[in-house]
Amino acid sequence: MRAFDYLEPGSLSEALGLLQDLGPDARPLAGGTALVPEMKTGACRPLQLVSLRRLGDVLAGVRVEQAQVIIGPMTTLNALERDAKLAEVMPSMRALLSRVANVRIRHIATIGGSLAQRDPGYDPPVLLAALDAQVRLLTAESARLVEIADPEATRGAVGLDVGELLGDIVIPLPSATTAIAVAKHTPRTFVDRGVVTVACAVELGARGELTKVCIALGGVAARTLRSREAEDRLTGRVWDEEAVASAAATAAAAVLPVGDGRGSVNYKRAMTEVFVRRTLAQAYREAADRRTEAKTHV
Amino acid sequence: MNPQRIVSLRVNGVQRDVLAPANRLLVDTLRDELGLNGTKIGCGVGVCGACTVLLDGRTVSSCLLLTVMAEGAEITTVEGVTPTNGLHPVQAAFIDHGGLQCGACTPGQILAAMNLLEEEPSATPTQVADWMSGNLCRCTGYYGIVEAVLSRSRTGETGTDVKEAGTS
């Protein structure tokens, strides 16, 4: 591994100042589970690493509030997986995270890192995209909220520019009639990357119509994305197998997977269709069950 | 550039101040500086688990951590869990259940198993299979490993469930 300077700023403003001053040769370091392997192969050759480890107090932690969940970017995937309150309000988070890499990686890798890497094969951003989550992008001079599944795709699934750091991830709490389902399809064990990762959110209205449908996909395009066209095909309608099949086909037609050892382009596209359909159906069933439950309790 | 710095670690309960350049991996410090060769180097990218150590009680891949990232942390290697005389019960279980052959992955397997049993003293076959799936063994296969870990779990479940969990 090439030599570099290692800096450990003690405050967020110091870290942002350093990254701005040092420019493109510097990289921020959180868990390092992605960055260190890249540095070993030489794919990434920073001259300075700006470690965020002393900023854990300000950048890590989970807060479940009335209308939203706020997650510090330095929160490890394992800490999110263990968080009992988060599991209560957002069980899909634990369901997906328990299927990400192995537990050693989850002990170290951070949720912010999974967004900063902007790797479409990463699972956590897929769920965040389906949840309409936003993340604060910080520089020495500014802070702005960006959508994780930015429809303009300029910051889709985020990444970091020179001088930037991630701040809080803000997730609106799903409504009581919303259910979320996730699926990671891999013919091997879940430790491997998925062929396709799907996260779907379905909200049911008073008459059983789909008032909101979110479909997020990972692993099958250059970026983690939302299938807005497929979502539009279902929103406002009642559940109908044919319409769902057609929406899944729409989602699959729009992806641009790369053929590799995990499957050909055609296979990945076919699996996208299958898993969008299944994941939507699961989310719908759960939302419908919840609705029935709520009615019987009245 | 890359100046040496003194990094304070607590390794197996002993304070160790090591002189390390910023780009030295924790696994290299453990093996080359501290002579703790129980920790192995396998894939080098956090997949195989041969370099597993405990950092503040939790499993990590020491091939992915810079030594400087472990400053102030408590590190446990397989040497630290092995009594002066005899074996740790988890180590003995691996022998009793045929959970090892060449032994290269075993230090990592032992530490992974200990961390699981610490967190889930009544780990089920599925929990064992899920947790241990991050530690690869290329000779024994996994039945013996899963059985060894389960034998130390309070559920004490073995038999057909193990086979099902091990193949999932």
Q: Residues B7, B68: contact at Cβ < 8 Å?
A: yes
A5 → closest Cβ in B22, B55, B61: B22
Residues of chain B that touch chain A, judged by Cβ-Cβ distance less than 8 Å:
1-3, 5, 21-23, 25, 44-47, 49, 52, 55, 58-61, 64-66, 68-69, 112, 130-131, 133-135
For residue A86, give how far its alpha carbon lies from the nearest alpha carbon of chain B (Å).
19
Numbered residues of chain A with Cβ closer than 8 Å to any chain B Cβ: 1-6, 8, 29, 32-33, 36-37, 39-40, 47, 49, 51, 53, 78, 98, 101-105, 107-108, 189-191
Residue B80: CB atoms within 10 A of its CB come to 18
Please count the CA atoms within 13 angstroms of the CA of A82 that sit on its side-chain side.
11
Nearest Cα residue in chain B from A102: B134
Under DSSP, the state recorded for A161 is: -
Cβ distance A40 to B45 less than 8 Å, yes or no, reads yes
| Structure tokens belonging to residue A284 | 């719908």
B contacts of A99 (beta carbons < 8 Å): none
Q: For all residues of chain A together, what is the average pLDDT?
A: 94
pLDDT at B159: 45
Is there a contact between A69 and A90 (Cβ–Cβ < 8 Å)? yes
DSSP at B120: -
**CA atoms within 13 A of residue A236's CA, in its CB half-sphere:** 3
Contacts of B23 in chain A (CB under 8 A): 1-4, 39
Question: CA A77 → CA A99, A111, A171, A204, distances in Å?
Answer: 11, 6, 16, 30
Alpha-carbon distance B16 to B36, whole Å?
Answer: 12
Is the Cβ pair B1, A47 closer than 8 Å?
Answer: yes
Is B69 in contact with A32 (Cβ distance < 8 A)?
Answer: yes
Q: Which residues of B touch A191 (CB under 8 A)?
A: 47, 133-134
Chain B: nearest CA to A44, how far in angstroms? 13
**Contact in structure between A33 and B66 (CB atoms under 8 Å):** no
Q: Is the pLDDT of residue A297 over 90?
A: no
The predicted-structure confidence for A242-264, as pLDDT tens digits, reads as follows 999 999 999 999 999 999 989 99
- Inter-chain residue contact B134 with A103, CB threshold 8 Å: yes
Tell if the CB–CB gap between B23 and A4 is shorter than 8 Å.
yes
CB atoms within 10 A of CB B165: 21
Residue-wise pLDDT for A106-139, tens only, equals: 999 999 999 999 999 999 999 999 999 999 999 9
Q: Is the pLDDT of residue A222 over 70?
A: yes
Q: Which two tokens stand for residue A23?
A: 């420019």
Per DSSP (E only), the strands in chain B are 4-11, 14-21, 52-55, 58-61, 74-76
* Separation in Å, CA of B131 to nearest CA in chain A: 7
The number of beta carbons lying within 10 Å of the beta carbon of residue A160 is 19
What is the DSSP secondary structure assignment for residue A135, as one 8-state letter? E
Low-confidence ranges of chain B (pLDDT < 70): 1-2, 156-168
Would the CB atoms of A1 and B1 count as touching at under 8 Å? no
Instruction: Tell me how far the alpha carbon of residue A185 is from its chain's centroid.
Output: 16
- A179 within 8 A of A290, measured Cβ to Cβ: yes
Higher pLDDT, B159 or A223: A223
What's residue B167's pLDDT?
Answer: 40
Residues B89, B114: Cα–Cα separation, whole Å: 10
**R_g over Cα of chain A:** 20
Tokens of A195: 């062929």
pLDDT score of A191 = 78
For residue A4, what is the nearest residue in chain B, using CA coordinates? B2
How far apart (Å, rounded) are the C-alpha atoms in residues A50 and A250?
43
* Mutation site, A2, A55, A104, interface B, largest B CB count within 10 A: A104
Q: What pLDDT, on a 0 to 100 scale, did the predictor assign at position A167?
A: 97
Best mutation target among B66, B132, B137 (most A Cβ atoms within 10 Å) is B66
Better-predicted residue by pLDDT, A229 or A149:
A229
**Regarding beta strands A5-7 and A48-51, do their DSSP bridges make them parallel or antiparallel, or are they unpaired?**
parallel
CA-nearest residue to B67 within chain A is A6
Cβ pair A37:B64 closer than 8 A: yes
AA letter at B36: L
Is there a contact between B44 and A40 if contact means CB atoms under 8 Å apart?
yes
* Crossing angle (nearest 10°) for helices B143-151 and B106-119: 40
- The answer to whether the beta carbons of residues A157 and A164 sit under 8 Å apart is no
